[in-house]
């Protein structure tokens, strides 16, 4: 199957069955989203959503967070992964927002990446979710699912290679939605170990299913 056909089937299915996907992180404004995404690195959204209500109550804006210290922030996020580093990142991020960006969340990937704790993936999430820009954040789910489906080749061995491969074929106005589609599909169906192929609605064009599951069924 040609790659363009795989993309067509992928987009047709999700635009028809899941037209308005959203991040599962809870947030009310760009500042809260940025904090939540920084915290979510190597941690589940469910855990982050348990932590952020009290954190945002204490630090409702960059100014209040910037005026705090690492030790205090740690007490609010100690149950997430790498709380020491993330406490430092949050304080540094907030202070840079206040000092260099007038407490506003930057709208470009380049400016966001200047903030402590913000890599390309985090920056892409923020500009995609907040500003609906055609940015593709490649986390472990996007990386796995896009390769299994055959949207990008298995030789795309880095997040950047996967990002570029997806952006080459995705219509710009659907990129931010496709980001959520891939994440949610990977989180609930196309899981890392023992993907739920028997429940998957995408097997008709899935490269993984074609090469591994379907072949095995034919041989049995």
* Residue from 8, 78, 88, 121 carrying the catalytic annotation: 121
- The verdict on whether 196 is a catalytic residue reads no
Are 95 and 113 contacting, i.e. CB atoms less than 8 angstroms apart? Answer: no
How far from the centroid of its chain's Cα atoms is residue 107's Cα? Answer: 17
The count of C-alpha atoms lying within 13 angstroms of the C-alpha of 45, restricted to the half-sphere facing its C-beta, is 13
Per-residue burial over 87-101, b if 16 or more Cβ lie within 10 Å, else e, is: bbbbbbbbbbbbeee
- DSSP assigned state of 105: P
CB 139 within 8 A of CB 198: no
* Catalytic annotation present for 45: no
Q: How far is CA 181 from CA 24, 69, 74, in A?
A: 12, 37, 33
Say how many C-beta atoms besides its own lie within 10 A of residue 187's C-beta: 16
Phi, psi of 33 (to 5 degrees): -65, -45
Question: Which residue in 186, 38, 47, 61 sits closest to 119, CA to CA?
Answer: 38
200: annotated binding-site residue? yes
Q: How many CA atoms lie within 13 A of 186 on its CB side?
A: 19
Annotated catalytic residue within 139, 177, 207, 211: 139
43 is in an annotated binding site: no
Q: Which residues are catalytic?
A: 121, 139
List binding-site positions for [4Fe-4S] cluster: 190, 197, 200, 206
List binding-site positions: 190, 197, 200, 206
């Amino acid at each position: 199957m040609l790659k363009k056909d795989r993309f067509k089937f992928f987009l047709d299915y999700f635009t028809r069955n899941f037209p308005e996907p959203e991040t599962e992180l809870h947030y009310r404004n760009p500042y809260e989203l940025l904090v939540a995404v920084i915290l979510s690195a190597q941690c589940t959204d469910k855990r982050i959503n348990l932590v952020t209500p009290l954190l945002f109550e204490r630090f409702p804006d960059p100014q209040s967070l910037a005026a705090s210290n690492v030790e205090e922030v740690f007490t609010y996020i100690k149950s997430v992964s790498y709380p020491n580093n993330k406490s430092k990142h949050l304080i540094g991020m907030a202070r840079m927002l206040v000092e260099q960006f007038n407490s506003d969340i930057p709208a470009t990937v380049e400016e966001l990446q200047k903030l402590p704790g913000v890599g390309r993936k985090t920056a892409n999430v923020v500009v995609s979710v907040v500003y609906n820009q055609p940015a593709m954040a490649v986390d472990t789910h996007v990386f796995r699912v896009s390769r299994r489906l055959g949207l990008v080749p298995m030789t795309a061995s880095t997040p950047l290679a996967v990002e570029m491969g997806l952006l080459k074929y995705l219509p710009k106005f659907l990129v931010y939605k496709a980001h959520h589609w891939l994440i949610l599909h990977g989180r609930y169906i196309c899981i890392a170990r023992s993907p739920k192929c028997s429940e998957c609605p995408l097997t008709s064009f899935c490269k993984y299913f074609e090469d591994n599951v379907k072949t095995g069924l034919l041989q049995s």
